[in-house]
Every structure is written in C-alpha cells, then in structure tokens.
Structure 1
C-alpha cells in the first residue's frame, strides 16, 4: 500500500534538519517505522536478532552509516542510546539519527536521559483527519492562535460512521482489514501485550488472566477519572484472592512504559485563581478499539441494539469511546501546534471541561465533547464558566459534536463536527 502521510511528518520535516537525533516513540503498530523510513537514507532494525547482534558487541558501529540513520526498536540494545548521545556530543550536525521505540527500557538500562541531545516525540494511532474520511475546515492551531473567526463547513459523517471508526481502530495495518480479520488482529494485539510485551519490558506476569481483566476494567473506565482501586475492584469482582495493589501498580507502570495506556493528565492553570481542582488523570488506552474489543462491544452494542458483556464505568460505551477518539486526535493536533493537553474537573464535580489545550503563552482552547448533533446552553455552561474565571486566556471555546454543521454561536462558542476538526 502507498504510504499515507501523517501529521507528524510535517513536524519531522521542520525539526530533523536542525536536530542531530530524534526519538519517535509510541505503541506497537501506530506506524512509527513506516513514517521514519520517509525521512532517512539508511536503516538498522533491532527487532531482528541477527541485525542487532553486532551492535550489542560494539554500539559504536552506528556512526559508520550514511545519515540520516534509522535505528528501529532501539530499546533492544539500550546502550545504543548512550552511543547516539555521545555521537551527538562529538558532532551536533542536524539530521544524523532517527530512533524509533515501542517501549521505554527498564530504569537503569540506559545511563542518560538524552536531554539536550535526543529530542523525544510521541506518535499515536491515526488521528481522525489522517483517515481520509473528510477534509477538515477548522484548524486547532488557528483556534489556539485566535485566528479562526470564521467557523463553517458541512460534514457527511454520521453517528454510525463514528461508531465504525472507533471499531476499525487507528492502527494503519489493522483498520482496513475485513471485520473478522480485524477482530482477530485486535485479539492478538491484546494477547501480545500480556504474553510478550510486558515480560519483554521487564514485568513479571505471574497472573496473566488478572492482567487481562485489569486491562478490560481500565478500558471500561475510558474517559473517566475512576480511582485505580475502583478499577482493580471491577477487574477482580468475585475473587477472594485478589492481587496486591502494589502488584497491579507495577503492571500499570509497565503498560505506560510500552505506551498501551495513554492517560490524559489533569490541567492546573498557572497564575490563575482556580481552586479545588482534581489531580486525577482521565483514563485512555492507546486506541479506543482495544477497549471496545476487550468489552465485546461491536457496532450493534455501540449504537444501542445489543448489550455488551462488560458495561462502561460511566455513561454509555459510545459516549466514552467517542470522547477517547476525540481526545486521541486532539493530542496529535496539539503536538503539531506545540501545545499541551489536559482535562479540568473541580473536586465537587460542579464544573468540568473535557479537553484543555494550552500553548506556551498560556492561551487556552477549551473543548467539550458532545455525542449529539445539536448544542444548547447547558452544553456550553462549563466553557463559559472557565472564560469567566481566567478571562482572555481562553482564546477559543469549542463543542465537538456528531452533527453536520460547523458554526459559531452568539456567545462565541464554536460548534464543530468532529470530522471537520483538524490540525
């Protein structure tokens, strides 16, 4: 299949000529290697035991290749990281190394963070605008800069289309398969996490069924800030011999190390009067299709025709997974705009904003996600409250919907069908 250009390609085009080393990181199957190959002239793959064996003996071999050099799955030979760092110290010329990795090595496996030498970038599954379904008319970058006054456009995507996209996944090699093959690949992906990827990252998996149950429970908590103890209870309901909380915390840490968990941190504004905000992250898996698959959710259950075997911890499955899909895409768009992403919730839950995008100059785009086509005053009250609290720092207020029309309300809130939102 021809390569489909990704948003991060534009970022790499800008950065690589001036940076000696870039590390492109993310979960397996997000497309790191295919993307990296567009930007290099030579390659070594440490996923191949035969290829990596010489570098285990002599990591300095990497300096002999034409640049830019792709070092694929570098974490299999962690000492190469330090060799790249030293090579950059010796020669900081831009465009020398592009590393890819689907796991952070265990603590102590590398001796230096790479700060100041190796720039780390996270790659996620396909954002919605990268899937080729609809041409975006609203730019997150322009919203963040306060430059998009005109909000317009018509989306042909309907609720069922968003449900289909959740299930198809954003993994490039999985999404275009026939339904049965896609389900088999997602099942295999989940099994590989427990049976192969976790042990490979240094985790001792003594109770694989418990890990699978915990992952499913975490998926059921998608787009919520449910406590980890609550997730553990949901995963081990009816079991008398429950794993220790510390054991589950180790699994969770390793799942984040291999980028399977992608929690959205709580946002705390600097130099602002907001008080009593929660600090708990919102739970998200790297792709909402994994949560749907582990829960036995398919199209009929998403659209309300059949009950899934695992209920979501809050709201509906379609609502939770749609918010996760939106969050995943917004994080990709925000990275391209050099912005941070979080969520806001007060401790008494009186106010919450699903997604906060903040630039370096502390400008804020506040986003609510609504699983409906129509928007009324109740849907924008938290956005307007936040603007009252921090004033002009809120440069754009947005409600992302499943409706057909993009427009701006009289109170300044932009109503944007998800398919029309892009980088």
Structure 2
C-alpha cells in the first residue's frame, strides 16, 4: 500500500532537520512506523527479539549505524531512551533519531524525561481531511489567526457517509479492508489490548472480562463527562461483586498510557473572568470505530438512532460518535499548529461547548458539533455567550455540521461541514 502523506509530515519536514531526536507517540496502528520510515536510513525494530537483544547488549549500537535512525517500539527496551538523550547531549545535530512508541514506560521503570533533547509529537488515527474524500476549504489555523476569514465551500458528503467513516476507522491498515474483515480486525485490536498489549507492558490483568466490560462502558460514555462511578455501574449492572476503585483507576491509567483512552481535558482559562467551570475530562477512545464496535451497533442501527449511552440524557449514539470523529480530527489539526484542545462546561451545566482550541498566543476558537445539516439560533447560544465573556480573545465561533455548505451566519458564527475543515 502506497504511503499517503499525513499532516504530521509537514511538521517533520520543517523541524526534523533542526532537531536531533523526535518521538512519535500514539496507539498501535495509527501509522507511526510508516511515517517515521519515510525519513530513516536505519530501522531498529524492538518488537523483533533479535534486534532487541542486540540493542540490549550494546546500547551504543544506535550511534554506530547510519542516521537517521528509527527506533521502533522503543519502550520495550527503556534504557534506549536515556542512551538517545546522552547521544543528543554529545551531538545535537538535527535529523539523527526518530523514536516510535505505542506505550509509556511500564510502572516502576524510571527514565529521564528527555526534556530539551527529545521532542514528542502525538499521532492519532487519520483526521477526516487525511482520508482523501474531499479537499478542505476552511483552515483551523486561519480561524485561530482571527479576522473572520472567508467561510465557503460545498460538500457532497452526507450523514450516511459520515457514518461509514466512523465505522471504517482512522487506522490506515484497518480502513482499507472489506467490511467483514474490518470488523474482525477491530475485534482483534480490542482483544489484543485486553489480552496482550497491557500484559506486554507490565500490567497484570486478572479478569480480562471485567476490563473489556469496563472498556465497553467507557465507550458508551463517548463525548460525555460521565463520572467514573457511573461508568463502573454500567459495566457491572446486576453484579454484587464490583471491582475495587483502585482496580478501575488502574484500568484507566494503563489504557491512557497506551493511548487507547484519549480524553479531552476541561479547558480552564488563565487570567480570565470565567468561574465555576468543571474540571472533568470528556471521554473519548482513540478512534470512534472502537467505541462503535464495543457497543455493537452497526450502520443501520446508528441511522435509526439506536445505541444505549452512559449518563447522556439527550442526543443519539450516532451524534456522540460524530462528535468523537470531529474531536479526533480537530486535535490532529490543532497539534499541527501547536494548539491545545479542551472542552468547556460550567458546574451547573447551564453552559457547555464541545471543543475549545487554544493557540500558543492564548487566542481561542470555540467549536460546537451538531449532527445536523441546518443550524438555529438556539444552537449558537453558548458560542455567543463565550464571546460576551472573553471578548477579543475569542478568535472565532464555529459549528461543525453534517450539512452541504460552509458559510457565515449573520451573527458571525462559522458553519462548517466536517469534510470541509482542515489544518
């Protein structure tokens, strides 16, 4: 399969010649190795026992082979990280090392942070604009810059196609498969997380069935900030013998460490009049296809409005998955320009905004996500409220839809089909 350039490629083209070591971090299957391989002369794959044994016996091997050197699944031999750090201390010439990892360091293993020597770039599944369906006409970077850029464009993509994209997955190697093979591959991906991925990273799972039930419940809470107690209750309905709080916390910690959970943190602005905001993250898995597969609702059911959700009194399961698909894409676009993504919700739940993108200059783009083609004044009320609160710091107000056209409303809110939004 020919390599399709990713958004992160532009960032690597710009920065790798000047940075000695870059770590690409993300879940298995997001494409880290394929992207890094485009730039490597030497590839050391530590999930191959022979290469791992060689490197364990001689860490200096990384400086004895032709650069750039890709060290794939580096976390399987944690001392490699410190050896790269020391190599950069000795010679910080750009373009020397790429490290790809699908997990953080196992519990109890200590390494240097690498700050100032190894720069980390996150990689997520394919954003919508990376899937080759349609060329975007609106740039998140332009929205962050302010000045209300022109909003225009037409998208032929409808709700049915967005549903296909949710179910097809953003994992490059999975989405190209026929439907039945794709479903089996997603099931295998989930099973590997529970049965192999965590144990390979030093985590003992005594009851895999309980972990899978909790993961399913978490998936059903997609795009909510449901309490962890409600997620556990949904996972253990009818059971008297529930897992201990520490066990559940361990699930969450380790699944986040291997990038399977990808929650969106609450946005807490600094030096701002906003008060009484919740600090609870919003729940998302690394790919909405995994959530859909865990809950076992297919395309026909999603389009009929089927699907039980955890702690979500309004909205459909398809709407939650569309929000997760949008969040996944926006986070890819935001990382390309050094911006961060959060969500906003007041403690009294009177005000909430799905996505807050904050640039390095503290300017903000506020985004609501609607599984709808048309937008009413009611849909933009929270965006307009935020503008009243933070004034010129709010660069733009956006509603992402499933509609056909991108345009600005008379009140200045940009209405943008997901397919037309890009980096």
Q: TM-score range by the shorter chain?
A: over 0.9
Aligned length in residues: 421
Q: Map Cα deviations across residues 211-264 of structure 1 (whole Å, 9 max, x no partner).
A: 000000000000000001110111011111111011110111000010000000
> Contact (CA 8 Å) 1:20, 1:93: kept in 2 or not?
yes
CA RMSD of aligned residues (A): 1.0
Note the alpha carbon deviations across 1:160-191, whole angstroms, 9 max, x for none.
Answer: 00000000000000011111100000000000
Question: Who is 1:266 aligned against?
Answer: 266
Q: Alpha-carbon deviation of 1:72?
A: 0.5
C-alpha distance in structure 1 between counterparts of 2:118 and 2:309, whole Å: 43
Separation (CA, whole Å) in 2 of partners of 1:14 and 1:376: 42
Tell me the CA shift for residue 37 of structure 1: 0.7
Deviation at 1:82, TM superposition (A): 0.4
Q: 1:108 to 1:118 in 2, by over 3 A?
A: farther
Gaps of 5+ in 2: none
CA 1:312–1:227 in structure 2 vs 1: closer, same or farther (change >3 Å)?
Answer: closer
Q: Which residue of 2 aligns with 1:243?
A: 243
- Checking the alignment, whether the CA contact within 8 Å between 2:42 and 2:67 is kept in structure 1 is yes
**2:327 is the counterpart of 1:327:** yes
TM-score of the superposition, structure 1-length normalised? 0.98
Q: Is the 8 A contact 1:203 1:250 kept in 2?
A: no
Tell me the equivalent position of 1:360.
360
SS at match of 1:182: helix
Q: Determine the structure 1 residue equivalent to 2:200.
A: 200
Could you say which residue in structure 1 is the equivalent of 2:94?
A: 94
Q: Aligned equivalents of 2:140 and 2:290: distance in 1?
A: 26
Partner of 2:226: 226
1-side partners of 2:191 and 2:147: how far apart? 46
- 1:264-303 aligned within 5 A: 264-303=264-303
Kindly indicate whether the alpha-carbon contact (under 8 Å) linking 2:107 and 2:202 is maintained by their aligned counterparts in 1.
no
**Contact residue 73 and residue 100 of structure 2 kept, 8 A:** yes
Instruction: Provide the C-alpha distance between the structure 2 equivalents of 1:50 and 1:248, rounded to a whole number of angstroms.
Output: 36
**Structure 1 residue 194: Cα displacement:** 0.4
Aligned-pair distance for 1:58? 1.7
For 1:252-309, what per-residue CA distance to the aligned partner results, in whole angstroms no more than 9, with x for missing partners? 100001000000000011111000000000000000000000111110111017x44x
Q: Provide the rounded CA distance (Å) in 2 between the counterparts of 1:198 and 1:243.
A: 18
Alignment partners' CA distance in 2, 1:244 and 1:290: 25
Instruction: Work out the CA distance in 2 between the residues paired with 1:53 and 1:32.
Output: 22
Q: 1:312 & 1:155 partners in 2: Cα distance?
A: 32
CA distance in 1, matches of 2:365, 2:231: 30
* In 1, Cα distance between equivalents of 2:295 and 2:250: 23
- Maintained 8 Å contact 2:230/2:310: no
1:31 aligns with 2:31: yes
- 2:382 maps to 382
Which contiguous aligned blocks of 4+ residues in structure 1 show a shift greater than 6 angstroms?
A: none
The C-alpha deviation readout for 1:12-66, integer Å capped at 9, x for no partner, is 1111011100000100000100000112221110011111101111211111111
Deviation at 1:201, TM superposition (A): 1.7
